[in-house]
Structure 1
Amino acid sequence: MACLYIVDDQPDTHIILARLLELDGYTVVGAHNGSEALKQIPLVRPALVLLDLALPGIDGLTVAKQLRTNSSTKHLPIIAMTAFGSNEYRSHAIAAGCSEYLLKPLDFVKLRSVIAQLVLQVA
């Protein structure tokens, strides 16, 4: 099964997401900040990134933009996860390179569906 990469600074969110996705058969790795994620993602080469936009230090929008400038990650699907539901913030996330935009608290049925669709597109 595919490898997914979670970037979220909230340990509880990170653990819950990882466990649920592992139950679906995915291999899950991740980071708790943008800097660590930018170092690891090109090395890990996951099928998809779940990216919290409100990260300490390098925020999620910057992470997405930088992933899009790297030749090895420019086509990587990125799902933005955030509690900010404004259309303006959504537009910024899509412009930064995010493939999808999901609101927290996450709807796990929708999340699973979006992940499955995006992973199939890159397979």
Structure 2
Amino acid sequence: MPKILIVEDNELSRDMLSRRLRRRGYEVIVAVDSSEAIAIVTTDRPDVVLMDLSLPEMDGWATTRILKNTEATAGIPVIALTAHAGPGDREMALEAGCDDYDTKPIELTRLLAKIHRFVCSPEVAPSGDFRTN
């Protein structure tokens, strides 16, 4: 069963997404801030990280940079999640090292397709593959 880490400080969003992913057979772990996310990724090695970009203390862009610049965690796919889908946000996520990008409110079918690319066919969806979409 693929393991997904949800990094989300909003309790309602975190719980709703967790329940929806668990019903579809994913093992879900959660982090409420960047420090917790880095610790969990390092120890639990999830298959995919769903990273809220608007986190307290250290934002999701900085957290992703840390994960991608650490040898032990660099290969773990990170999908950015944000309610701020303005001009340049997608590019900022790419520059931070995110492997994909999605907007809130979450459209589950679209997000599941992105997750599926990483957990079911990693050789078909290398880091950055979505940039040409």
1:38 maps onto 2:38 in alignment: yes
| TM-score using structure 1 length | 0.95
CA drift at 1:122: 3.5
CA drift at 1:87: 3.1
CA drift at 1:121: 3.4
CA drift at 1:29: 0.3
Partner of 2:96: 96
Partner of 1:109: 109
CA drift at 1:35: 1.1
Instruction: Calculate the aligned-residue CA RMSD, in Å.
Output: 1.1
For 2:81, the aligned partner's letter is M
CA distance in 2, matches of 1:37, 1:2: 17
Aligned residue pairs, count = 123
| Greater helix fraction, Structure 1 or Structure 2 | 1
For 1:107, the aligned partner's letter is E
Partner of 1:79: 79
Partner of 1:54: 54
Gaps of 5+ in 1: none
CA distance in 2, matches of 1:117, 1:40: 22
CA drift at 1:119: 1.1
CA drift at 1:46: 0.3
Matched-pair contact (CA < 8 Å) for 1:35–1:57 = no
Once the two structures are superposed, the pairs formed by residues 20-35 of structure 1 within 5 Å of their partners are 20-35=20-35
Runs of 4+ in 1 over 3 A off after TM superposition: none
| TM-score using structure 2 length | 0.89
Matched-pair contact (CA < 8 Å) for 1:47–1:122 = no
Partner of 1:17: 17
For 1:67, the aligned partner's letter is L
Matched-pair contact (CA < 8 Å) for 1:52–1:80 = yes
The percentage of aligned residue pairs carrying the same residue is 34
Matched-pair contact (CA < 8 Å) for 1:53–1:81 = yes
